[in-house]
Chains A and B, each alone.
Chain A
Amino acid sequence: MENLKLIISPSPHVRDGDTTPRIMFDVLISLLPAVAAAVYFFGFNAIRLVLLGGAAAVATEALFQKLRGKPITIWDGSALVTGILLALTVPPTLPSWMIIVGSAVGIAVGKQVFGGLGHNIFNPALVGRAFLTASFVGPMTAWTGPFDTITRATPLAVGAARASLPGLFFGSVAGSLGETSALAILLGGIYLFYRGILDHRITLGVLGTVIAMSFLTGANPIFELLAGGLLFGAIFMATDMVTSPYTPRGRWIFGIGIGFMVMLIRTWGSMPEGVTYAILFMNAVTPLINRWTRPRIYGQGVQRG
């Protein structure tokens, strides 16, 4: 027992098994049902956009880090998540070069210029999507129906009266790649919740507010929940850990704020859909929410006996 080489480090000496790359991997797993639904309804276009979106994001991250002389961290999986998330929010007919540009902008402008993983203010996938929507309005709103290539109006543009609710639930409607099937999105959401990644306060805050405001504005709450990118946004985009508040109360406020903005845009705005901008807006005020919602510390404000 002489001459032991013992490691000296401060406590704690054990760590939880979960890691950040594992969290990213779990998000990828949770997207599988949505990707599968996209492939089922939109065929080769879905495969093309998901692969290109993911690859472009990873390549941009590697290139950016190489140029800056920083360690290349593409293996943490976060860039791949961003690229695939973006691909699932674009129309199936989007040209290949556009998804590449969108992914690159999302990673470069939305993430790397802030300092990379953990430092960005805005959800990088939504930065890419906002860039594409602003730059290429036509292709970004060319919704084709499932199983065909004819451009149709999305259910949100048509309105609740003519929409098929079962169609919205299972996904046989026109829309973005991954956003049409509520069922596939919910399956992914359940997995994320089970793995402790999805914060229910954010998702329930968004969905609950949309339901409440539907009653106030006379809209059909089920339609509002299922149509457009709301469910996808509430489950996969708003819950992005980096860009949402870290305080317990802040997460409720963040979710409620997104739901409120979505309904504001849908009801009175000039666009049929507003999930992207609602989340980006709330991303911007997240540092303020964090500051205003600091939890009460144990023992503070307690009367001294």
Chain B
Amino acid sequence: MSLKTFFGGIHPKYAKELTAASPIEILSAPETVVVPMLQHIGAPAVPTVKRGDEVLAGQVIGEASQPISAPVHSPVSGKVVAVTDQPHVNGRSVLSVVIENDGQNKWVDLEPHYDPVQLDRGAILDKIRAAGIVGMGGAGFPTAAKLSPPKDAVIDVLIINGSECEPYLTSDHRLMLEYAGDLILGAKLLAKACGAKKIVIGVEDNKLDSVAELKKHAGAIEIVLLDTKYPQGGEKQLIAAITGREVPSNGLPFQAGVIVQNAATAVAVAQAVRDGKPLVDRIVTVTGSAINEPRNFLVPIGTPIKHLVEAAGGFKEEPGKVLVGGPMMGLAQHGLEAPVTKTVNGILALSKAEAVVPEPMPCIKCARCVDVCPAYLLPLRLEAFGMHEMWDEAKEYGAMDCIECGCCTYICPSKRPLLQYIRVAKNQIVAASRKRTS
């Protein structure tokens, strides 16, 4: 079978062997969970509980305030001890509900549905929305909103993203192996919810065991083998690889007739519609050379990172960097207090040696950044524009089309922080356009 792929991209050291063979272990909730009201793109949820309230597992503790938002549920039963700003993996403080776990694991009454594929589109969407499901691959766009493009949009393909192109992470890999049946059901429900006739699951060819498992359940669903290359799981790159279509610049995938959903999101959808279970847990890879026993956990959302690190045997050596997510797009943490959210797919602890930020040298115009850029930009020019505060030029050269995959910075032999300067330019362009419209 020939592998599908996109133009550009890189082949970093994957290091997935650290956890690829580790079955998902269920990690019970700690004594206290911290559940942020912001775990998605859009408006934060509004707390519906206050200090002193008793809550059940699965109970709504924050409700969606606007169309682009998502409700938040309690992962445990217990007592609300605080509704305050708490550390968040995004580096800021975010309003969170702190719950003391009573250890009883008492759930709200769930509404299962034994023949979920018979439900109509509206009912499926309602259940997805009520379960607080958001894109679990990292961005966290509310799933129900993503499944509801403008009325005149025609969606013919639903792509389930099982590429997991970030090095080190294996949470989706294990999920596809161990929850293949749920994933296929979720894919069917998602397709029905967006009206797509065709379903394609894209998986990189470094996860052939997952592909074999998915095929047992797939039926008419097509499974496409993708070249193992970063950023294969980028939405635009995945669409190009599988359909040959491009998402218009400054547009959204539905404009190319496609909706992409992450593999973990599909499983969450299946569990929400079939079992009535809201999104209160997820699979997280805890890995890296500074971790004693790298492995995969199914953890309640709201579990502090520290708890996961301890469950993985603690640190082997003092880490230089702790990341949430993979090494290409992950967020560096300044502590271990922040809790797991709906979008945290990995905790990566790098050794002190791996964490060193190299000294940049002059650009020698080798153009490796141009060759790897999956958006076909000229990163070396954008970097220079960003550095010299030439925002108009940066915009003209397509800074806003940058997907921030980091391939340019990764490949640069002069170790220049290209993406950093492109981000500066993007922020300035956005700020300038806001100023103009206000």
Contacts and interface: CB of A to CB of B under 8 A. Distances in A.
Interface of A: 1, 4-16, 18-20, 22-23, 76, 78, 116-119, 196-197, 199, 241-242, 244, 246-248, 294-300, 302-305
Chain B binding surface SS class:
loop
Contacts of B411: 16, 18
B365 A298 contact: no
Interface in B286-339: 306, 309-310, 314-315, 318-323, 327-336
Nearest to B329: A11
Contact of A14 (B328, B417, B423): B328
A5 B414 CA distance: 27
Nearest to A199: B367
A12 B355 CA distance: 11
Contacts of A303: 248
Nearest to A241: B366
Given A246-B370, A298-B249, A14 B12 contact: yes
A120 B314 CA distance: 51
B150 to A, nearest CB: 11
28 contacts: A1-B306, A4-B322, A5-B318, A7-B320, A7-B321, A7-B357, A8-B91, A9-B332, A9-B357, A11-B419, A13-B330, A13-B332, A14-B354, A16-B412, A16-B413, A20-B413, A117-B362, A117-B364, A118-B362, A118-B414, A119-B362, A241-B365, A246-B366, A294-B378, A297-B375, A300-B398, A302-B248, A305-B153
B32 interface: no
B425 to A, nearest CB: 14
A302 B332 contact: no
A242 B154 CA distance: 47
Interface centre among A20, A118, A197, A199 (most CB of B within 10 A): A20
Contacts, number: 179
A7 B419 contact: no
Contacts of B154: 305
B151 to A, nearest CB: 14
Contact of B318 (A4, A15, A117, A299): A4
B358 A297 contact: no
Contacts of A199: 367
Interface in B212-253: 236, 240, 245-251
Contacts of B409: 12, 15
A194 B126 CA distance: 56
A23 B413 CA distance: 8
A26 to B, nearest CB: 10
A11 B413 contact: no
A76 B361 CA distance: 9
Contact of A11 (B12, B247, B248, B331): B331
Contact of B320 (A6, A16, A246, A305): A6
B59 interface: no
A196 B371 CA distance: 11
Contacts of A196: 368
Given A241-B367, A300-B249, A116 B318 contact: no
A146 to B, nearest CB: 35
Contacts of A12: 327-329, 406, 409-410, 419
A143 to B, nearest CB: 33
Contacts of A23: 364, 366, 413
A84 B362 CA distance: 22
B364 A241 contact: yes
Contacts of B10: 16
B256 interface: yes
Contacts of A117: 361-362, 364
Nearest to A303: B248
B195 interface: no
Contact of A4 (B319, B329, B364): B319
B322 A6 contact: yes
Given A7-B355, A8-B334, A297 B367 contact: no
A292 to B, nearest CB: 13
B329 A297 contact: no
A305 B153 CA distance: 7
Nearest to A298: B375
A48 to B, nearest CB: 30
A18 B413 contact: yes
B312 to A, nearest CB: 12
Q: Which 3 residue pairs are nearest across A and B when measured between Cβ atoms?
A: A12-B406, A246-B367, A118-B362
